[in-house]
Amino acid sequence: MYRLLYSVLLRRLPAETVHRLSFRGLRAIEATPGAMRLVRRLCGPRDDALRVRALGLDFPSPVGLAAGFDKDAEAYNALGAFGFGFVEIGTVTARPQPGNPRPRLFRLVRDRAIVNRMGFNNEGARAAADRLRGRRRVIVGVNIGKTKVVPEDEAAADYVQSTERLAALADYLVVNVSSPNTPGLRDLQAVEHLRPLLTQVREAARRATPRHVPLLVKIAPDLADPDVDAVADLALELGLDGVIATNTTISREGLESRTREVEAVGAGGLSGPPLKERSLEVLRRLRERVGDRLVLVSVGGVETADDVAERLEAGATLVQAYTGLIYGGPFWLRGINRALAARLRP
Ligand SMILES: Cc1cc2nc3c(=O)[nH]c(=O)nc-3n(C[C@H](O)[C@H](O)[C@H](O)COP(=O)(O)O)c2cc1C
């Protein structure tokens, strides 16, 4: 059904229009009496084999929605009802900002991939906080990033401001230093910048709430291996709770799509299957480095239950996906949860 709708209509519409239509649908489901219950009954993860205990939380499925889909915390409950074990909202910046000019979201259909240069379009930390105060029916992670106009030497203060507004409302907090679409952001992954940044965010989270808010850092797949190791060591040194690997890549290697099409799309972060191999490699490297001392959330190119199982076997505590949902449609995760439960059941 979704395949038909996709091939007849959705793939002809600009990708961002489809995104906006999806949110209308999700919000309509949240507003219609009985609809959420119905969706949850159809899609919600119920099998005990899927449960994961991590970060002090009980996840009903190890598969969550990666950051960037629900940037403004508009529909996390409906997304949870469709089967996600957790939803990461954001990236949220301290101040509202429009993001980059459109078009800024592109499909590379032959690769089942996406290129985006959204540039953290979002309504800011205050608006996200207001939405997170509503009734919650799913575990919600909050992913924060730097406001574009804030200079790099004031980045930490900007992250701290978001933390002050959002930490008490987050089931876990993610410091995103890995989006390729905010100039200079990824330089913050260098340990000399990352150490003071994470230390200040951690202190701000402690001041914001007496509850321990798990703190994770999200890294790029384009880091060289020694830099991945350095971030892992820093996460251990600072007593962080985990690492999310990976964000999108600026590489365009190994694509099936025509060079002309790829060049026409231009700059941005690439996601989906072309990212799979590097994402898995970074996961294995991190797990080897940190042993069982950190939660590792693996993301990048996950499309099937076999992909999820592979990540879990390679040391992921939790798994996230975004692009798979775009190509797979709203019932995609239901299928994954069912197939995964059958694999994991004793
Ligand atoms: C359109 C789009 C927007 C994204 N925005 C964000 C974002 O705001 N913050 C973030 O940390 N990651 C963002 N991501 C990256 C995803 O969270 C994820 O790390 C990446 O897409 C790899 O996973 P996938 O192959 O399953 O899509 C975005 C990805 C896409 C496709």
pTM, two decimal places = 0.97
How far apart are alpha carbons 115 and 112 in whole angstroms?
Answer: 10
Ligand 1 atom 11, closest CA:
67
| Cα torsion angle, 57, 65, 285, 163, sign | negative
> In one letter, which amino acid is 61?
S
Taking residues 171-177, what's their average pLDDT? 97
**Mean per-residue pLDDT over the chain, rounded:** 95
How far apart are alpha carbons 78 and 240 in whole angstroms?
Answer: 30
The contacts of residue 345 (CB under 8 Å, 6+ apart) are 47, 49
User: Would you call 215 helix, strand, or coil by DSSP?
Assistant: strand
Least Cα distance to 68 among 42, 101, 92 occurs for 92
Establish how many alpha carbons lie within 13 A of residue 336's alpha carbon, considering only the half-sphere containing its beta carbon: 28
For residue 178, give the ligand 1 atom closest to its CA: 11
189 falls in which pLDDT band (50, 70, 90)? confident
Ligand 1 proximity of 279 Cβ (cutoff 6 Å): no
Per the listing, tokens 């100039």 go with 183
Ligand 1 proximity of 66 Cβ (cutoff 6 Å): yes
Least Cα distance to 166 among 97, 229, 88, 250 occurs for 88
219 falls in which pLDDT band (50, 70, 90)? very high
The residue to mutate among 122, 222, 247, 326, having the most atoms of ligand 1 within 8 angstroms of its beta carbon, is: 247
Least Cα distance to 285 among 264, 325, 315 occurs for 315
Q: Are 18 and 6 in contact (CB under 8 A)?
A: no
pLDDT value, residue 346: 80
Which of 21-35, 179-193, 220-234, 324-338 has the least mean pLDDT? Answer: 179-193
Query: Which pair of structure tokens corresponds to residue 281?
Result: 């490699």
Percent of the chain with pLDDT over 90: 88
For residue 66, give the ligand 1 atom closest to its CA: 17
Taking residues 89-97, what's their average pLDDT? 97
- Distance (angstroms) between ligand 1 centre and the Cα of 229 equals 22
Counting beta carbons within 10 angstroms of the beta carbon of residue 51, is it exposed (0 to 12), middle (13 to 18) or buried (19 or more)?
middle
For residue 114, give the ligand 1 atom closest to its CA: 31
Chain mean position to CA 156: 21
Q: 179 catalytic, yes or no?
A: yes
pLDDT value, residue 9: 64
190 falls in which pLDDT band (50, 70, 90)? confident
Per the listing, tokens 């076997």 go with 313
Ligand 1 proximity of 143 Cβ (cutoff 6 Å): yes
Ligand 1 proximity of 117 Cβ (cutoff 6 Å): no
Residue 21 has pLDDT above 80, yes or no: yes
Q: Are 275 and 268 in contact (CB under 8 A)?
A: no
pLDDT value, residue 8: 62
Tell me the pLDDT tens digit for each residue of 290-342.
Answer: 999 999 999 999 999 999 999 999 999 999 999 999 999 999 999 999 999 99
Ligand 1 proximity of 302 Cβ (cutoff 6 Å): yes
29 falls in which pLDDT band (50, 70, 90)? very high
Least Cα distance to 134 among 221, 27, 12, 268 occurs for 27
pLDDT value, residue 183: 86
- Distance (angstroms) between ligand 1 centre and the Cα of 299 equals 9
pLDDT value, residue 2: 66
| Cα torsion angle, 166, 170, 174, 180, sign | negative
Ligand 1 atom 10, closest CA:
67
3 falls in which pLDDT band (50, 70, 90)? low
> In one letter, which amino acid is 262?
V
Of 178 and 172, the structure prediction assigns the larger pLDDT to 172
pLDDT value, residue 264: 94
How far apart are alpha carbons 301 and 282 in whole angstroms?
Answer: 13
Phi, psi of 91 (to 5 degrees): -70, 130
- Distance (angstroms) between ligand 1 centre and the Cα of 177 equals 12
Ligand 1 atom 6, closest CA:
68
